[in-house]
Structure 1
């Protein structure tokens, strides 16, 4: 629901909100420029002295105004001709024209009314209301995505457009709330929808009849500093019944022109002070720095608008269109989906279709929208949950476990949890298992025991469907048809072969970067933007299932590179190892932001063995800022398996690699990479205590040995690998 409240005002009012934001940002510059250009009065200068100086230069002065920026303007008549000028308070002389800046006036009319009068003002008020809805709903969505208010600035993952959208929102969202709220207040004031804030003094019924008392003898003008002045209006020449009208930061009063006596005074009301504060916040008049800050934050609106559209389009592509999806309050079956790349939504659509065909009413939604209070007619909840990284929640399940933990009591209706994963990863279905364990600990009744689906198997999904049908007492046939990822043809440019001496053939394969459209470059889709550590899916001939390899290059390198070892009976590895320059394969990119180096300058400890060197080599190659990188690399034999040996030497010379420690597991002295870590324990400890981040890539057994070694090394310090993982300082890409 919150996402819908955020999405539709943004899409419908995108142009209007963008015009509001950009014109407001431009106007904030004019307010700041006025503050810088205006001659400022000395702190001790009184209104009486200023007025005397102006009268000496312009005897026919009728009014003196001071803007919130400090700019003083005088208006006069001379020989029947009106005049106006910006005044230097030190001399009373005019120093600049008082005519309004035409560009500022044009932008103001655009910002307020689109040049359409009252109709335009109403339209812009609707734009401000849309911005307010976007800001409030966006605040809730950012908190949800970050995993709670305390994690507001937690590191983000996911597609570039989404990360840019949230990063800007984190900073700009509260400023946009201020701008939109103040805009709505000012619109209400314009249309007299607020109580009358003015409560000025009654015009004096009797005056002395005397005239021409020098302003320097008027006590109130002498006592009022210029920095508190707003406006001083002079009596009409020759009219003994007229008076001086003085407006200051404190209130409004009338002065007898012959005696200087205060004939009436009224302090500003509370509502007037509120209105003036709101005016200051919205325009920056009187608070130029604040105005510039709000204007700068407003510049984020068009960027958030563009990235928001990209997110919406990507979401439409990632989620299948589910026809007949009931609302959460109507459905008897609630189907919640936790997905990172979008594939789990396809299973959800298949299950929704089958249940609907069997006469069930079904609502499908993300796990992040879990809200039991909304499930008024629900009889069961089914969770389809993928796992992200090392057992973490996928993107559409952020906050689910926190909401479950916060529940005073779980729903009385039963729950079924189905996990999706790949057994080659150590945290197989880790998030689904965590959900099932948390639900059990809360006492949530089971509809079915926890079950898992490996590698998106349609057969396993159909088997689980029969079990679900038996539990529901219906005939349920789940015929899931996987939608293949769009692939591109990659041509092999070159290869470097290794491992023949050890009877373990391997190669570094470098493919040409395919032509990529400008749209894909801007959106980061496909081969438009990728980094070392992302995954490339190779579609082998004769198999519907792709095989994934970690990339050893980024799009800026201008090529696609992977490290492959031939496995006995391996379909994909055999086909890749048979490639010769000029041959092609079909492939696609899957982003893996959890295994990217962060952007800090703290040291990196890279640990890999065998073909796990691939992404680590890519990180080193991309280290143009010469961040300290320490590489621990394990191989079988130095003569046959030293991948990137010459490159690593060159990168050390160039300063991209700080230190290289190797270990060989074949030969007279067998030494594994975890042994190399123990041998350099003091330096490893020093680096980690100084904030180093650890990245491990390679086989599952190697990764487990590295974890054990680091646990022993860090034991005296009180640190543990688990604690480092929780801080995001220890990440793995293992197989």
Structure 2
């Protein structure tokens, strides 16, 4: 619900709020410019009578005196029958400059307030302020959830570059945007008299005035009691019209003063509503608080960035999910399918299941596991298809499923079946799906059928599970899944470096030329995407139904795509790659991996890898052009055979992109492993971690487990663990 509350106003109002924000940012500059050029007087030193007397002496044809919140005093007068206006020094009454209204300011003001559409535009601007408030509040709540709670809301943002920009700009601007939105809504409601505000009627002109000779304006006691700082406007009587009176507007009220006697003929104090309105107006426009106006203007500049990144994130999510036809609303469905997917492949299986059930006459709703609702009024069953990400954790579309499940007080009567998707080469095969199954059982959800798993996206295993489901439902159900391959691109092998033959671990560094990113391909979205070290490249070998992913050791700016691959006995993809020669081509696609890359800043980075796991780590070092402190722990078998990147590491040490390297080789004297050196360097590591260092680990599961155990010992004196560092965004793993 929260995501929908954030998404729909954002998509519908993206252009409107961007226009309002940009025009507001431009307007925020004018109060500061006016304040910088204004000649002011200290508070309490000049009265309205003093100022009016000086002005009347210098400009006999004075019509009106205006004092802006900035302190600038403007005089409107007639000279030789023609209107004129000047800015004056209130202390002397002398002209400082001609007053020329800004056409740009007037144009932008009309755009901001009404979009040049009069009342219809004012209503649209008010709705834009409401949309801004909804986006700010819902976005703040979503960020808190994503970061793991309000106490971590200022931690490192995670996700793709677009997501991080969206979150970072939102956190920076949310306070200012909420203030602008609330004050804008108030002013809009006051404009249409929905709430009392700035449209209260002014006192009427008195019916009778003295009509005697005009008193010198500086003698009028009513004006002497008004400090210049409280003056807003003083309008003089028409010349040679003894029946006219002075009109005075101040911070506290409005009134009329007899020009002959100097007596206040009528006075009306501003009520509480008017005072509130003027305060709100000052907070919204910066008039009288120029510094606040500039702050709000800067925060407003974040809105177009968030609008663009928000739309791009939404579009990216849409692309990762297959289009599901006849997707019934959750409240009307008799069958609910919930999907936990990281790369999108599990959504393909969900679509196959959805289509088959729909063809049998069922009303089916398919959605993300994160959309778990407290109730599905007409559902007879629920089917959960859950992939496992990384080290047994929840995939992208199921990050909040467990929390939503725990928040449900009662178990529904409908039965549920869980189908896990994974790869048996990982030790924690389908662990997240297993955790879901156990959590559902603890909450008392009845089981529709036994827990089952699908290895390596096997269409045959999925069809067998469909046959079992068919028996449970008592109807014919055939699941024929045809996997949709991601859009791939042709890569040409430029060069390869071979290692490891002597230690029976043939390993190669492959460097490919990415395809040319032509203008037409970019415009149509078909160009090879940008990538960074730590992202993944998916390669599907001939005869394999499932792509294999390899961590990238290079980024787009390097001009090539580089991976480290060890040849595994019987491995289809690794064998295919090791058979390549320069000039050969492969089909591949990029899968972003934004969770595995160095954070920003200058804090040290501790890189720990073994074997081919060094690939993305050296990619980070290669891109370390700012010479941020980076310390590399590299484990191998024998330095004479599999010291990957030995020459480049020496160069990076020389040019300070790499601060230090520690190597551990298991098949030489001492049989050292990286975790042994981590324990030996405990004191130095603790010092770096106390400085905010980030730890990044890449390699096999056994190595990663050993490193985690060693780090637990190292971190214990600091009352930290790898888990707490991970929650802070300072510990990341890429394991296989």
Q: State the TM-score bracket (shorter-chain normalisation).
A: over 0.9
Alignment counterpart, residue 270 of structure 2, candidates 257, 268, 271: 268
Shift of 1:522: 9.4
Task: Report the alpha carbon displacement of residue 551 of structure 1 after superposing the two structures with TM.
Answer: 1.0
**Separation in structure 1 between the aligned mates of residue 698 and residue 133 of structure 2, nearest angstrom:** 45
**CA deviation digits over 1:235-273, x for unaligned, max 9?**
333333433222111112333333333333222112222
In structure 2, do the counterparts of structure 1 residues 667 and 13 end up closer, same or farther at CA, with 3 Å as the change threshold? closer
Question: What corresponds to 1:288 in structure 2?
Answer: 290
CA apart distance, 1:123:
4.9
Moved more, 1-10 or 264-273: 1-10
Question: Hey, what does 2:439 align to over in structure 1?
Answer: 438
From the superposition, tell whether residues 148 and 338 of structure 1 become closer, same or farther in structure 2 (CA, over 3 Å).
Answer: farther
Correspondence list, 1:115-134, <5 A: 115-125=116-126, 127-128=128-129, 130-134=131-135
- Post-superposition shift, 1:652? 0.9
Q: Give the whole-Å Cα distance in 2 for the aligned partners of 1:728 and 1:46.
A: 60
Compared with structure 1, are the counterparts of its residues 628 and 526 closer, same or farther at alpha carbon in structure 2 (3 Å cutoff)?
A: farther
1:610–1:698 CA contact under 8 A, matched in 2: yes
Shift of 1:346: 1.3
Could you give the per-residue CA deviations for residues 616-635 of structure 1, whole angstroms, max 9, x where no partner exists? 11111111122222211111
Counterpart mapping for 1:404-419 below 5 A: 404-419=405-420
In the alignment, is the contact (CA less than 8 A) between 1:199 and 1:269 conserved in 2?
no
**Which has the larger displacement, 643-652 or 499-508?**
499-508
- How far apart, CA to CA, are the structure 1 residues paired with 2:123 and 2:723? 56
**What CA distance in whole angstroms lies between the structure 2 residues aligned with 1:299 and 1:528?**
28
Number of the residue aligned with 2:723:
722
CA distance change for structure 1 residues 576 and 368 in 2, over 3 Å: closer, same or farther? same
SS in 2 for 1:486: coil
Look up the match of 2:656: 655
- Going from structure 1 to structure 2, the CA distance change for 1:584 and 1:113 (only over 3 Å counts) comes to same
Residues 60 and 489 from structure 1, CA distance in 2 versus in 1: closer, same or farther, beyond 3 angstroms? same
User: SS at 2:625's partner residue?
Assistant: coil
- 1:27 maps to 2:12: no
State the SS of the aligned residue for 1:696.
Answer: strand
Using the TM superposition, name which of 308-317 and 6-15 deviates more. Answer: 6-15
Shift of 1:74: 1.2
Of 711-720 and 573-582, more deviation after overlay is shown by 711-720
In structure 2, C-alpha distance between the alignment counterparts of 1:470 and 1:215, rounded to whole Å = 100
Secondary structure of the 1:264 match is strand
Residue by residue over 1:565-597, the C-alpha shift from the partner in whole angstroms, topping out at 9 and shown as x without a partner, is 222222222221222211111111111112111
Inter-partner Cα distance in structure 2 for 1:184 and 1:135: 14
What is aligned with 1:570? 571
SS class of match (2:28): helix
| Separation in 1, partners of 2:331, 2:283 | 42
**CA distance in 2: counterparts of 1:727 and 1:174, whole angstroms:** 23
Q: Aligned partners of 1:479, 1:288: CA distance in 2, in Å?
A: 66
After TM superposition, the structure 1 stretch with the greater mean CA deviation from structure 2, 326-335 or 380-389, is 380-389
Q: Does 1:494 align with 2:476?
A: no
Name the CA distance, whole Å, in 2 between partners of 1:259 and 1:48. 14
Cα separation, partners in 2 of 1:152 and 1:472, compared to 1, 3 Å: farther
Aligned pairs for 1:614-629 within 5 A: 614-629=615-630
Residue equivalent to 2:36: 36
Contact 1:532-1:550 at 8 Å conserved across structures: yes
Which residue of the other structure, out of 324, 329, 332, is the alignment partner of 1:330? 332
Provide the secondary structure at the position in 2 that maps to 1:528: coil
Measured in 2, the distance between the counterparts of 1:311 and 1:518 equals 22
- Equivalent residue, structure 2, for 1:515: 516
Q: Output aligned runs, 1:152-163, within 5 Å.
A: 152-163=153-164
State whether structure 2 residue 315 is matched by structure 1 residue 313: yes
1:353 to 355, 364, 379: 355
Deviation readout 1:456-477 (Å, 9 max, x if unpaired) = 2222222332333333333332
Question: How high is the TM-score relative to the length of structure 2?
Answer: 0.92
**Cα offset for 1:675?**
1.9
The 2-side partners of 1:155 and 1:350 are apart by: 38
TM-score by length of 1: 0.92
Q: Is the CA contact (8 Å cut-off) linking 1:527 and 1:555 kept in structure 2? A: no
Q: Displacement, 1:160?
A: 2.5
2:216, 2:428 → 1: CA distance? 88
CA distance in 2, matches of 1:195, 1:712: 65
Instruction: Output the CA distance in 1 between the equivalents of 2:312 and 2:712.
Output: 43
Contact persistence 2:160–2:593 (CA under 8 A): no
CA distance in 2, matches of 1:290, 1:392: 45
Question: Matched residues in 1 for 2:468 and 2:531: separation?
Answer: 41
Q: How does 1:246-645 map to 2 (within 5 A)?
A: 246-373=248-375, 375-517=376-518, 527-645=528-646
How far, CA to CA, are the matches of 1:625 and 1:297 in structure 2?
Answer: 28
Deviation at 1:281, TM superposition (A): 3.4
Please name the residue that 1:710 is paired with.
711
* Rounded Cα–Cα distance in structure 1 between residues aligned with 2:146 and 2:721: 27
SS across alignment from 1:595: coil
Q: Is the 8 A contact 2:156 2:728 kept in 1?
A: no
Stretch of structure 1 that moved more, 650-659 or 275-284: 275-284
CA gap of 1:113–1:726, structure 2 versus 1, over 3 A, is: closer
CA distance in 2, matches of 1:538, 1:603: 33
Which residue number corresponds to residue 18 of structure 1?
18
In the alignment, is the contact (CA less than 8 A) between 2:152 and 2:728 conserved in 1? Answer: no
2:226 aligns with 224
2:200 aligned with 1:198:
yes
- C-alpha spacing 1:508/1:181, structure 2 compared with 1 (3 Å): same
Q: How does 1:54-133 map to 2 (within 5 A)?
A: 54-125=55-126, 127-128=128-129, 130-133=131-134
Matched with 2:701 is 700
**Equivalent pair of 1:526/1:588 in contact (CA under 8 Å):** no
Q: Deviations over 1:129-185 (max 9, x none)?
A: 554554455455445544555544443333333332333333334544444454454
Identify which of 220, 224, 234 aligns with 2:236.
234
Q: Is this contact kept in 2: 1:161–1:523, CA < 8 A?
A: no
Aligned pair in 2 of structure 1 residues 523, 173: CA closer, same or farther (>3 Å)? farther
SS of 2:692's partner is coil
Distance in 2 (alpha carbons) for counterparts of 1:7 and 1:93: 57
Q: In structure 2, how many angstroms separate the alpha carbons of the residues matched to 1:298 and 1:479?
A: 51
Distance of 2:729 and 2:710 partners within structure 1: 19
Q: CA deviation at 1:725?
A: 3.1
Residues of 1 paired with 2:117 and 2:669: CA distance? Answer: 87
Q: Deviations over 1:677-728 (max 9, x none)?
A: 2332332333334332221111111122222222333444443333333333
Give, in angstroms, the shift of residue 205 of structure 1.
4.9
Q: Distance in 2 between matches of 1:523 and 1:616?
A: 33
| Matched residue SS, 1:345 | helix
**Which stretch has the larger CA shift, 335-344 or 391-400?**
391-400
TM-superposed deviation, 1:325: 1.0
Whether the 8 Å contact between 2:136 and 2:178 is mirrored in structure 1 is yes
Given the superposition, is the C-alpha separation of residues 143 and 471 from structure 1 closer, same or farther in structure 2, using an over 3 Å criterion? farther
**Closer, same or farther: CA 155–411 of 1 in aligned 2, 3 Å:** farther
Q: Is the 8 A contact 1:637 1:666 kept in 2?
A: yes
CA contact (8 A) 2:155 2:729 kept: no
| Match of residue 214 from structure 1 | 216
SS of 1:501 mapped into structure 2: helix
1:359 deviates by: 2.4
Query: 1:545/1:377 Cα in 2 relative to 1: closer, same or farther (>3 Å)?
Result: same
